[in-house]
Homo-oligomer: A and B are copies of this chain.
Amino acid sequence: MADVGKLAERLRAALGARRVITDRQELRTYECDGLAHYKVIPALVALPADAGQTAAVVRACVDAGVPFVARGSGTGLSGGALPHADGVLIVTAQMRQIRAVDPADERAVVEPGVINLHVTRAATPHGYYYAPDPSSQQICSIGGNVAENSGGAHCLKYGFTTNHVTGLQVVTPDGEITRLGGRSLDPPGYDLLGAFVGSEGTLGVATEVTVRLTRLPEAVRTLLAAFHGTDEAGAATSAIIGAGVVPAAIEMMDALAIEAAEAAVACGYPQGAGAVLIVELDGPAAEVAAQFDEVTRLCEENGAFEIRIAADDAERALFWKGRKSAFAAVGRISPDYIVQDGVIPRTALPEVLRRIGDLATSHGVRVANVFHAGDGNLHPLVLFDDGVAGEAERAEAASGAIIDLCIEYGGSITGEHGVGADKAKYMPRMFTDDDLDTMQLVRCAFDPAGLANPGKVFPTPRLCGERPGRHRGAHPPQEAAEPGWQGAEVF
């Protein structure tokens, strides 16, 4: 264990006293991120003002041999910013300047602590916005979005954070400042930008982010379709995508999620709905109008018993209010809940939702489903009461079983919340040893000392050196089978 006092002294000299926190009460503020299930008080918090100070903190950590964890607004849901008790937490919240907005080249350059929604606010007067929209966009930071490759309801059409970041300035785990990517797409050399985005702080700390701005659409139209159950709503989702329409968003809520939303915000969704879809189209007015009629027809054909079309922005906001409040609203109908995050092939939606229902029954818990139906990104909310003995354990087991289900269907253990501290244990379920070894190669190249957010993403911490578990010559390499290509036309 390093001498925290000495480290604090060095950091105060480099950053100034008010940028270094060692008071135990103040440190407690940073003990967890949005996943409050895990809590660890860091030894020290540093709040660097710029890339140079960030590099100074990282170099001090390397010299002292202590781990460091970067944190933006702390809204993450996988424990990616969970501190180490003997480590430094690097909080980027004070780097929050929007450095440039350039509509002609459709780019903005921002510091990592800038709030997601503030990029859009700066771009809107120019006719642009920043497309990725996590539910937490009013508070989450761009740096955190980069670390977690954050998504959002509208990423169905527009893609995740990785599709909107064209350049980064980063501090590498040995304390150097380097640039990945730039203003233009697809520069020569290795695309390490893509590897960095979503690396959850294990490859370094982003200190400047160049993002693509998206033109505000000419038209936006939103409908709310009520179905008797999730089977019909799932079928409608598949029919819409199958028809070649790519809505900006297709969101689904099941009966329990609707019940929670009504209890919390009285959103007035159609009575008796077993599931609702919110479908939003945006783009050129001519295209939106034509496709909107098609979406309406496909919802009707697949069993929608009521379809409401937002007449204006106010009504559109009301449709979204229920959806956006759903996570928090669950607190109205259950004392505790786990937010799960997994992905399945969209075509399997009805079947997987039925099996989630079966899992809920067999585990004796309730599960509410609120999710990005268009891209099969499930967010089951597993409800429980921590005051009832055994319920938390049953909820945890049900939540894990849902992830098993996602893997069984050839999906993913996380859609947009990241692996973090929470899901590292599942990684070997999704990747072969060879796959993980290849990732480890890159991690060790950037961070041979293993000090950049250790314990996150990867299942077993191991020392860098020889490629572990690699066979050579004695037996032929095994080909890792890729699951889930059932039903494909095979030649």
Asked whether A439 is an interface residue with its Cβ less than 8 Å from the other chain, the reply is: yes
Q: A174-B467, A411-B184 are in contact. Are A488 and B191 (CB under 8 A)?
A: no
Q: How far is the CB of A129 from chain B (nearest CB, A)?
A: 13
Q: How far is the CB of A228 from chain B (nearest CB, A)?
A: 25
Query: A94-123 toward B: CB 8 Å interface, digit per residue (1/0)?
Result: 000111111111010100000000000010
Complex Cα distance A190/B189, Å?
A: 17
Stretch at the interface among A35-43, A82-90, A175-183, A296-304: A175-183
Complex Cα distance A479/B149, Å?
A: 25
- The answer to whether A183 and B482 touch across the interface, beta carbons within 8 angstroms, is yes
Asked whether A55 is an interface residue with its Cβ less than 8 Å from the other chain, the reply is: yes
Set of chain B residues within 8 Å of A472, measured between Cβ atoms: 59, 175
- The answer to whether B184 and A419 touch across the interface, beta carbons within 8 angstroms, is no
Set of chain B residues within 8 Å of A484, measured between Cβ atoms: 183
Name which residue of chain B comes closest to A198, CB basis.
B191
Asked whether A193 is an interface residue with its Cβ less than 8 Å from the other chain, the reply is: yes
Most buried by B among A59, A218, A477, A478: A477
Asked whether A290 is an interface residue with its Cβ less than 8 Å from the other chain, the reply is: yes
Complex Cα distance A184/B343, Å?
A: 9
Q: How far is the CB of A205 from chain B (nearest CB, A)?
A: 13
Query: A468-491 toward B: CB 8 Å interface, digit per residue (1/0)?
Result: 001011001111101011011111
Asked whether A34 is an interface residue with its Cβ less than 8 Å from the other chain, the reply is: no
Complex Cα distance A441/B162, Å?
A: 22
Asked whether A449 is an interface residue with its Cβ less than 8 Å from the other chain, the reply is: no
Q: How far is the CB of A440 from chain B (nearest CB, A)?
A: 9
18 other A-B residue contacts (CB within 8 Å) besides A189-B431, A190-B199: A52-B477, A55-B476, A59-B473, A97-B491, A101-B489, A102-B487, A162-B186, A162-B194, A177-B477, A177-B480, A179-B435, A188-B423, A190-B203, A194-B194, A194-B195, A195-B442, A284-B287, A287-B287
Complex Cα distance A463/B188, Å?
A: 21
- The answer to whether A192 and B438 touch across the interface, beta carbons within 8 angstroms, is yes
16 contacts between A and B (CB under 8 A): A100-B488, A102-B489, A104-B242, A122-B491, A160-B185, A175-B472, A177-B478, A178-B432, A184-B412, A186-B198, A188-B419, A189-B431, A190-B439, A192-B442, A215-B244, A287-B290
Contact partner, A430, options B107, B187, B192, B467, Cβ 8 Å: B187
- The answer to whether A101 and B488 touch across the interface, beta carbons within 8 angstroms, is yes
Q: 10 tightest CB-CB pairs across the interface, nearest first?
A: A194-B194, A287-B287, A445-B445, A102-B488, A100-B488, A286-B290, A286-B286, A441-B445, A191-B194, A178-B434
Set of chain B residues within 8 Å of A109, measured between Cβ atoms: 485, 488
Asked whether A230 is an interface residue with its Cβ less than 8 Å from the other chain, the reply is: no
Asked whether A410 is an interface residue with its Cβ less than 8 Å from the other chain, the reply is: yes
- The answer to whether B105 and A347 touch across the interface, beta carbons within 8 angstroms, is yes
Name which residue of chain B comes closest to A245, CB basis.
B284
Asked whether A141 is an interface residue with its Cβ less than 8 Å from the other chain, the reply is: no
Set of chain B residues within 8 Å of A103, measured between Cβ atoms: 489
Name which residue of chain B comes closest to A107, CB basis.
B488
Name which residue of chain B comes closest to A56, CB basis.
B476
Asked whether A51 is an interface residue with its Cβ less than 8 Å from the other chain, the reply is: yes
- The answer to whether B430 and A441 touch across the interface, beta carbons within 8 angstroms, is no
- The answer to whether A441 and B434 touch across the interface, beta carbons within 8 angstroms, is no
Q: How far is the CB of A480 from chain B (nearest CB, A)?
A: 5
Q: Which of A253-289 contact B (CB under 8 A)?
A: 283-287, 289
Q: How far is the CB of A462 from chain B (nearest CB, A)?
A: 15
Q: How far is the CB of A465 from chain B (nearest CB, A)?
A: 12
Set of chain B residues within 8 Å of A190, measured between Cβ atoms: 195, 198-199, 203, 439, 442-443
Set of chain B residues within 8 Å of A8, measured between Cβ atoms: none
Set of chain B residues within 8 Å of A179, measured between Cβ atoms: 432, 434-435, 480, 482
Contact partner, A490, options B99, B180, B413, Cβ 8 Å: B99
Contact partner, A178, options B162, B430, B435, Cβ 8 Å: B435
Asked whether A427 is an interface residue with its Cβ less than 8 Å from the other chain, the reply is: yes
- The answer to whether B347 and A104 touch across the interface, beta carbons within 8 angstroms, is yes
Asked whether A167 is an interface residue with its Cβ less than 8 Å from the other chain, the reply is: yes
Complex Cα distance A159/B194, Å?
A: 15
Most buried by B among A97, A100, A189, A218: A189
Set of chain B residues within 8 Å of A343, measured between Cβ atoms: 184
Complex Cα distance A175/B474, Å?
A: 13
Q: How far is the CB of A59 from chain B (nearest CB, A)?
A: 7
Complex Cα distance A29/B443, Å?
A: 40
Q: Which of A27-84 contact B (CB under 8 A)?
A: 51-52, 55, 59, 63
Set of chain B residues within 8 Å of A435, measured between Cβ atoms: 178-180, 189
